[in-house]
Structure 1
């Protein structure tokens, strides 16, 4: 319920932002057009944002025939978590990473890169996919998926503002407000992600994943290995769509500057330490 409330607030805030920007750029007509665009965006984000994120990351659906070992692993963990079987996707990227998306457990999907399948042992991969299924079980995949598509829309709006405010037909400078908007909209998109996605959700998904797999050490080992490999291997799809970085099990962005604003993950060392403490104390069911 809390995540649904956060999602509704996020959508309302984006609608208000679009209306204000529309008014600044085009007066009353701009406000009306922005409202229509925001309403359409809200509808699209709720029903189709998962498909958009999967398309952004070039994910390809697999099944029991095309990826039997990986699909079977997810199926086993979903049963342990008492979740409906999600759709399963692979991303042809060397960078090791994974994420979950969808609007609810009945319409969920999990995705992993081919790179993560190569570097992790089967035990470590179970820990990672259990983490992603914990996101599904906690129902925090909707807001992260919507936040990603909304941030992408804001970035697109910034590009529109740049065109709007470039130069008129007489060669003179266009609307000076548009230039200011270009400077603030991209950081605003990053701030939107920061406000909508709590770092605490990763700690909770780590704990939930350890409980599902009954193996906190496996996830701790996987996180440490992903951290060491991912820093040297770019995730091209996410570099082109940094708004999706917050959905990954670990932030894959390598660019400096603005892209770092999209970081919503706690330090890997802290996550590993918490998981190892769980393993030491046995503070998880089973």
Structure 2
């Protein structure tokens, strides 16, 4: 159950980006001190590690990038909108920006072929069209599944191949949604794409486990990104959803980020194939 924008790096519709700027791969901005939103932990697990974050320019992805940087990780920030990547690099010094649309299967393979060693992967990229199933279009279906499902599976596969090739352990975390498990109004197409992600996660855990690679998901309810605060700040539908959440509120970005950091770190070293609810008890009802 996620907002139409920003949650897990989601955007509600494709935005056209400018032509690729050759300077982007070697941006040198004036260092800016940035503090993460919410408490941080697990610094001993991330210092000096290389982490690839998709959907890095908005919502949960952007906050996660700031936390990982604060914890000493070397972050590769992947986004498909050049302007947003430039803004992120201006806010957080020392990032490695990667400008690409993850739905482009072959292009993604070429990009990651010479990216170097990566220790962790977080799949935050996603898009969402919230509306009636009866009004679903082919273009909406293609974009949601190309990014939320196909792109996620491809980049996860490529990351796992890199780890196995160098005989290294690693950890992967993806962002799902409560709409993958529960029937949520206006979330039919989005929820279907996330249900596929969860099924893939369980199967991948069985295959990757013998190689020392863990893969998990978080499954949040509505997370109060900038756009979510506008969409869900009032109204009957918002009150109805909150009434079903035992903690009687929506989630905050830093709460989703802390769950991701836990699943990435060795604090969860025996956890794989798990779909972790971050929903205030919604799934317990």
Q: TM-score, normalised by structure 1?
A: 0.29
Q: Pick the structure with greater CA Rg.
A: 1
Larger helix fraction of residues: 1
Highest RCO, 1 vs 2 (Cα 8 Å, sep ≥ 6): 2
Q: Which of the two has greater strand per residue? A: 2
- TM normalised by structure 2 equals 0.29
